[in-house]
C-alpha cells in the first residue's frame, strides 16, 4: 500500500484516539462539578443536538468528494465554488435547525424529562446558546470535509484535537469561575465550538488557497445535493439500525437486559477506531483517482485491514470477559461477556464493509450503497425480533453479525471488483475469530487470557505476513528502518 496512505492512517488513528481519551478523563470532573442530575440533563441535551446532524444533508461528504476530484484536475476555481456552495447551504440549514432546537428543547425538557423547576429554568436560559450551536456545527463539517478532501489530515486532526480540548475544558472553567449551572457550562461549550470552527475555517481557506467570499452556485449546489442526499439516506438508515437492537431489547426483555447488552457493545464498538482511520484516509483518495486505481487501492486496503485489525479483534475477544469482571463485576460480566464476544465479529465485519461502501460512494454511486441500507433495515428488524424472542441477548448479537455480513457481501458484489481473492483473504481471518470465541470460553484466569490473546494474535500476524506479499514487503521495510545495519 502507498506509504502516504499508511502515514495518513496513522495520523487519523491518533486523531481519533486523543479526543476520546480527553473526553473520558474529563467526565468525572463534570459530574463532580455539576452533580449527577445536571450532568444527565447536559447529556440529554447534547444527544438531542446530535440528532440535528442530519441537517448537514450529506454536504460535508459531498464537498469532500467534489473537492478531491477538483484538486486532482487542478481546478482551483471549482474547489472554491464547491466550498462556498456547501458553506452557504449548511449555514442556511443550520439556522433552521437552530430555530427548531430552540423550541424543540423547550418542549423536550418540559414534557419528556423529569427534572426540577430549577434545572428547567437553567435549560431555558441556555436555549439561545443551543440554537447558535447548530449552525456552528453545520459549517464546521464543511470545513472538515474541505480539509480532508485535500488529504491534509495532519491539519484536520490538529484542529480537531485543539477543538476537543477547548470543548472539554472551557465549560469546566466557566463552571468553576462563574457558577456551576447549565447555562454557563453550555455557553462555554458553544464558545469553544465557535473558536474551533474559526480555526478550522481558516485552515480550510489556506489549504484550498481560497481568497475572497463567493455566493453559492446553483449547478454546484444541485450536484452536492444529489450526492449528499444519498449519503444522508445511508447515514439515517445506519443510525436507525445501530439503535434498533437496544430498542427491541428494552421493549422485549426489559431495561436490565439492555444494560447487559450495552455495556459490552460500548466497549467493542470503540474498536472501530482502526477501520474508521482507514476509511477517513481512503475516501478522498478514492474520490480523486480513476476506477481501476480505486479498485486496486480498495483491495490493498482490505488486505491491510485484515492484517492490522484482526489481531486487535482477537485480543479483544479473549480479554473481554476478564476485563468486564474487573470493571463492572461478575454479575454483569456473566451475562455481558458472551454477547460482547459475538459483537466483536460484527464490528470486524462492519470495518470490512466500510471499505467497500466508500469505494462505491467515492466513485459517484452513493445511491447504490444507500439502497442496500434501505432494503436491509426491515429484514434486520424482523431478524432482531426473531432472535431476541427465541435466543435473548445472544439472538440480538447474532442478528447484528448477520446484518454486518450481509452488508459485506452485498457491497462487495456491488463494487464489481474481483471477489474471489478478497474473500479468500478474508475467510482465514474469520476462522481465527471463530476459534477465539471458543478459546475465550476456556481460559479461567486473566493471566491465561493474556497468554492466549498474545498467541492468537501472533499466529494471525504470522499468517498475514506469510500469505500476503505486499505485507511481507511492508514488514521487511519496517524491520530495516528499526535495524539500519541490516540494510548495509
Taking residues 54-82, report their average pLDDT. Answer: 87
Compute the average pLDDT of residues 330-342.
89
Q: For position 485, what pLDDT does the model report?
A: 55
Phi and psi angles of residue 341, each rounded to the nearest 5 degrees, phi first: -65, -40
Higher pLDDT residue, 30 or 86?
Answer: 86
pLDDT interval class at 481 (50, 70, 90): low
Q: What is the structure's pLDDT at 487? A: 46
Between 311 and 119, residue with greater pLDDT: 311
Task: Answer yes or no: pTM beyond 0.85.
Answer: no
**Average pLDDT estimate for 168-195:** 86
* pLDDT value at 122 more than 80: no
**Taking the domains of the chain in order of start, what are their residue ranges?**
1-216, 230-488
Q: Which value, to the nearest 10 degrees, does the dihedral of the CA atoms of residues 46, 48, 49, 50 take?
A: 90
Confidence band of 114 (pLDDT split at 50, 70, 90): low
Predicted local distance difference test score (pLDDT) of residue 1: 61
How high is the pLDDT of residue 480? 64
Lowest model confidence (mean pLDDT) among 114-118, 167-171, 433-437, 484-488: 484-488
- What pLDDT is recorded for position 112? 46
pLDDT at 397 over 90: yes
Top-ranked range on mean pLDDT: pick from 54-58, 311-315, 473-477: 311-315
Average pLDDT of every residue of the chain: 84
Residue 23 pLDDT class (50, 70, 90 cuts): low
C-alpha separations of 310 from 107, 254, 278, 321, 380 in Å: 46, 34, 14, 18, 25
Q: Computed over its alpha carbons, how large is the radius of gyration of the chain?
A: 23
- Nearest Cα to Cα of residue 280 among 401, 154, 195: 154
Q: What is the pLDDT of residues 339-365, one digit of tens each?
A: 999 999 999 999 999 999 999 988 868
Amino acid at each position: 500500500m502507498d506509504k502516504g496512505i499508511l502515514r495518513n492512517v496513522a495520523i487519523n488513528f491518533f486523531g481519533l484516539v486523543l479526543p476520546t481519551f480527553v473526553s473520558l478523563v474529563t467526565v468525572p470532573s463534570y459530574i463532580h462539578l455539576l452533580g449527577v442530575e445536571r450532568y444527565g440533563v447536559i447529556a440529554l441535551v447534547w444527544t438531542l443536538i446530535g440528532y440535528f446532524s442530519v441537517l448537514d444533508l450529506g454536504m460535508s461528504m459531498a464537498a469532500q468528494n467534489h473537492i478531491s476530484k477538483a484538486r486532482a484536475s487542478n481546478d482551483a476555481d471549482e474547489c472554491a465554488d464547491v466550498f462556498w456552495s456547501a458553506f452557504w447551504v449548511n449555514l442556511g440549514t443550520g439556522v433552521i435547525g437552530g430555530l427548531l432546537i430552540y423550541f424543540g428543547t423547550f418542549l423536550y425538557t418540559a414534557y419528556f424529562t423529569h427534572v426540577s423547576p430549577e434545572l428547567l429554568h437553567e435549560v431555558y436560559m441556555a436555549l439561545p446558546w443551543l440554537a447558535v450551536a447548530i449552525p456552528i456545527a453545520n459549517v464546521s463539517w464543511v470545513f472538515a470535509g474541505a480539509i480532508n478532501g485535500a488529504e491534509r489530515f495532519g491539519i484536520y486532526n490538529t484542529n480537531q484535537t485543539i477543538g476537543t480540548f477547548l470543548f472539554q475544558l472551557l465549560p469546566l472553567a466557566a463552571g468553576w469561575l462563574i457558577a456551576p449551572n447549565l447555562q454557563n457550562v453550555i455557553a462555554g461549550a458553544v464558545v469553544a465550538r465557535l473558536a474551533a470552527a474559526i480555526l478550522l475555517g481558516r485552515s480550510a481557506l489556506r489549504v484550498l488557497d481560497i481568497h475572497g467570499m463567493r455566493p453559492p452556485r446553483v449547478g454546484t449546489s444541485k450536484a452536492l445535493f444529489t450526492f449528499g442526499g444519498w449519503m444522508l439516506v445511508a447515514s439515517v438508515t445506519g443510525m436507525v439500525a445501530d439503535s434498533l437492537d437496544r430498542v427491541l431489547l428494552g421493549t422485549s426483555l426489559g431495561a436490565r437486559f439492555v444494560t447487559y447488552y450495552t455495556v459490552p457493545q460500548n466497549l467493542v464498538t470503540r474498536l472501530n477506531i482502526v477501520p474508521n482511520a482507514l476509511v477517513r484516509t481512503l475516501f478522498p483518495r478514492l474520490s480523486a483517482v480513476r476506477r481501476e486505481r480505486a479498485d486496486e487501492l480498495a483491495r490493498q486496503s482490505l488486505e491491510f485491514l485484515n492484517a492490522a485489525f484482526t489481531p486487535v479483534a482477537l485480543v479483544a475477544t479473549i480479554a473481554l470477559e476478564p476485563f468486564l469482571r474487573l470493571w463492572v463485576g461478575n454479575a454483569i460480566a456473566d451475562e455481558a461477556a458472551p454477547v460482547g464476544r459475538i459483537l466483536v465479529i460484527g464490528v470486524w465485519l462492519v470495518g470490512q464493509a466500510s471499505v467497500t461502501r466508500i469505494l462505491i460512494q467515492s466513485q459517484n454511486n452513493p445511491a447504490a450503497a444507500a439502497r442496500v441500507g434501505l432494503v436491509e433495515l426491515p429484514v434486520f428488524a424482523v431478524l432482531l425480533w426473531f432472535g431476541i424472542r427465541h435466543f435473548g441477548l445472544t439472538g440480538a448479537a447474532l442478528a447484528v453479525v448477520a446484518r454486518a455480513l450481509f452488508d459485506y457481501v452485498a457491497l462487495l458484489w456491488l463494487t464489481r471488483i474481483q471477489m474471489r481473492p478478497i474473500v479468500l483473504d478474508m475467510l482465514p481471518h474469520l476462522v481465527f475469530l471463530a476459534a477465539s470465541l471458543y478459546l475465550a470460553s476456556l481460559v479461567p484466569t486473566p493471566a491465561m487470557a493474556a497468554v492466549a490473546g498474545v498467541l492468537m494474535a501472533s499466529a494471525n500476524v504470522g499468517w498475514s505476513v506469510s500469505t500476503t506479499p505486499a505485507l511481507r514487503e511492508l514488514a521487511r521495510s519496517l524491520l530495516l528502518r528499526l535495524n539500519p545495519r541490516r540494510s548495509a
